[in-house]
Amino acid sequence: MDTMMDYNKLAYDFCPAPIVVLSYRRMMEMNAAFEHLFGYSREELIEQSIIKIFPSLADYEKIGNDALQSLQQQKSLFYSDQRFMQHQNGEVFWTHTHGRTLTPEDPFKLMIWHFERKDKNQQFEQQLTKRESEITQFIVNGFTCKEIAKKLDLSHRTVEVHKANLMKKLGVRTKAELTSKIIIQKYPNNLA
């Protein structure tokens, strides 16, 4: 047996789970599975802001604020959520994300994150127009019609019409029901 082998590094580098180490939301190290998940090489990601793999600045800010508040208020070492992330080729996809801070007094100083991709229900996606599918991404992340309109350079009324069409297609009456139904329909086999 080779006593010089670094088994910890070997386990990290070749772990099938995508893992990244962040310092103040900058990517300091990542494994090969993380590179593969997002389509970038290590050299393209190292010391870059993690905003690089978020679909938008608004997503980056909202999720960062939610994570920081949760870690600080609950005085927990762990945080997890479900969110959209973006591949290097522009594809936006749903992930279940888990983070652990190693510096609880300053949670974002040093964190380890794991991403688990959740595949879409293609049959549901085919029932939606391209614009409806795009809008669902913002709805599940808590954006209002006005915010969505601004992000997509559409009128507020146009977004409201798309949202109404989605509600009708999914048979729901409230925003909360719509959000829940979108997630259930898009990712039926991945909800734990």
**pLDDT tens, residue by residue, 142-179:** 889 999 999 899 999 999 999 999 998 888 898 888 88
Domains of the chain: 10-118 (3.30.450.20), 122-186 (1.10.10.10)
Alpha-carbon distances, residue 115 vs 14, 19, 167, 169 (angstroms): 15, 7, 30, 31
The model carries a pTM of: 0.65
**Hey, which residues does 96 pair with through a beta bridge?**
82, 116
pLDDT digits (tens, 9 = 90+) for 25-38: 999 999 999 999 99
**Hey, which residues does 123 pair with through a beta bridge?**
none
Neighbour tally for 10: CB within 10 Å:
10
The set of residues, in sequence order, having a beta carbon less than 8 Å from that of 174 and lying 6+ positions away, is: none
How much is the average pLDDT of 33-61? 95
pLDDT digits (tens, 9 = 90+) for 81-133: 988 898 998 887 888 899 999 999 999 999 999 999 876 655 666 678 888 88
Alpha-carbon distances, residue 107 vs 52, 63, 82, 84, 97 (angstroms): 20, 14, 19, 22, 16
